[in-house]
Structure 1
């Protein structure tokens, strides 16, 4: 269940940041979506800003022919989608225009979850929340959520929504979260657990680092995200320091003992966290989707969870001040 809402989501969620419309062609994207459906994945995550709308269009085309009621589609609004002053943020104007554009690209009458991609300090929170609520009343949005908001921002939104008596309160938060990046644990997670807000986390594999495919002192393997064209190498390059890669390799015996791949171990670890409703995976090949989807339902023993913590040690970042800053990393993480 997504928090304390009535919406069911798949534990493993298929997302298309940096893939559809960028590093993966339409044929491969369609195959990945088909593999996700075959594996029992029902929840699909995207955003208006991914590939400047192309990711939504590719996902919509790939899902065409699938019974709409059998899947949950989530998308987002806030980050710049154009050069104009109103092509960004959470103003009523941009929220409405972006939602309608997303619906057209996705080829659907409604989205199951509409999320504020970041907090917008320029727009009154009341304006944003009422705009979201109006979309719910119009039937274009079923549930609303946020992404990479701090605990204070989420708490403020809950307070304002209560004062305004809005139809639909926030039921989801989408933060970055994985074995290495745990900055939501001190503040965001406790608040969301208390308020019934489910976490749909992204980068459970730390952009592939936790799969173990990258090794200390070695060039990125061919076909990997770090060796790809486009923006992907810039993002993953921040976490390819030998200190991280060496420690990740020490997780391999733990995965082997559990009968899991490194990727399955990392996803299952994320799903073991109380309050996490689902983990978003990306893929360039259908086989990756099939492998990673099997992490759903895996339960890790307390001894294994403790061994993971001991292995990663002080490389884990739990600094709550870095919430909402997905580009912040510990110095020892970087290859620079």
Structure 2
């Protein structure tokens, strides 16, 4: 699998990442082990997790697998912090919370450091300089190698990146995690230019448009799908509109013409967009992951990419909360 430089830093990541949000919830440890083995066999390196995934179980499972199916040095581990269990304060990027969360993540992962530590959300109640000072402290202590941010607007990212570039010796923000797909191209309007200007890289999550770009919702909501699940239906709902349906049909038409799956087309489109360093993909089973990894061999012809660009030109997606 192709490895890409992340944000002009010394860190390189596989252009398809292994997402672990399902681990500990829909995916058990044995199945997760099969996924890691499959991912490594395909040449993957970047594994994406977070302290809130399955209440920390995603990190715990990954930590145990570092002693069985994977070696620590074979993986680039990225995790996140910033969500808070406190109802009065759902986002907390204070020094107190972040550094405590990092220590907890390292304990669950069973490792002395993470390669990429990301501020998961923007916290309007904590001064930016305090949040970023915590990142500098984490890197200086050796517990973190590189830092990034996620789920931010363009002005929020620019504030982070500019602050860190203002003084020599501060840790640069090298990545931004954001939703990006053919049914949600909002990133292109303002965040992408900001990322380009700062020399950072995109970690593009939900490249399959929360599942709708696979085509599985063309005739309804299949049992067992996110769109049919009580706790996830609202997450998928924004992409059940007429515009998204037109885009899905365009993807399916392209897939038939190329003799590949719809998800391979959608995933390849995102993967090869400018400034995308890695595209984390999540699967419940190893066979599902194998299908997603098969897209690694697909390079969309220019005329098909252009047609998909035209079909999805107005796909701004839901507004970032």
Indicate if the aligned counterparts of 1:90 and 1:116 stay in contact, CA closer than 8 A: yes
Paired residue secondary structure (1:251): helix
**Deviation of the 1:145 alpha carbon:** 0.2
CA distance in 1, matches of 2:225, 2:246: 18
TM-score of the two chains, using structure 2 as the length reference: 0.91
Q: How many angstroms does 1:97 deviate by? A: 0.3
CA 1:227–1:25 in structure 2 vs 1: closer, same or farther (change >3 Å)? Answer: farther
**Larger RCO of the pair (alpha carbons < 8 Å, separation 6+):** 1
The answer on 1:77 being equivalent to 2:70 is no
Shift in Å, 1:70: 1.3
Specify the alignment match of 1:233 in structure 2.
233
Instruction: Measure, in 1, the Cα distance between the counterparts of 2:271 and 2:247.
Output: 21
| C-alpha deviation, 1:311, in angstroms | 3.3
Q: What is the match of residue 288 of structure 2?
A: 288
**Aligned-CA RMSD value:** 2.1
d(CA) in 1 for partners of 2:247 and 2:89? 45
Structure 2 equivalent of residue 40 of structure 1 = 43
Q: In terms of mean alpha carbon deviation, does 298-307 or 89-98 score higher?
A: 298-307
Asked whether 1:271 is paired with 2:259, we answer no
- Kindly tell me: are residues 202 and 99 of structure 1, through their superposed partners in 2, closer, same or farther at Cα, counting changes over 3 Å? same
CA contact (8 A) 1:272 1:300 kept: no
C-alpha distance 24-232 of structure 1, shift in aligned 2 (>3 A): farther
In 2, distance between residues paired with 1:10 and 1:271? 11
Q: Distance in 2 between matches of 1:238 and 1:157?
A: 29
Residue 142 (structure 1) aligned with residue 145 (structure 2): yes
1:40-79 alignment, distance < 5 Å: 40-65=43-68, 66-79=70-83
List gaps (5 residues or longer) in structure 2: none
1:313 is displaced (CA, Å) by 5.4
TM-score calculated relative to the size of structure 1: 0.87
**1:152-231 → structure 2 map (5 Å cutoff):** 152-216=155-219, 218=220, 220-228=221-229, 231=231
* Structure 1: gaps spanning 5 or more residues: 326-336
> How many pairs were matched up?
316
What is the CA distance between 1:285 and its match in structure 2? 1.1
Instruction: Give the distance between the partners of 1:244 and 1:87, measured in 2 at CA.
Output: 31
- Which residue number in structure 2 is paired with residue 244 of structure 1? 244
Shift, 1:85, TM fit: 6.5
1:146 CA displacement: 0.4
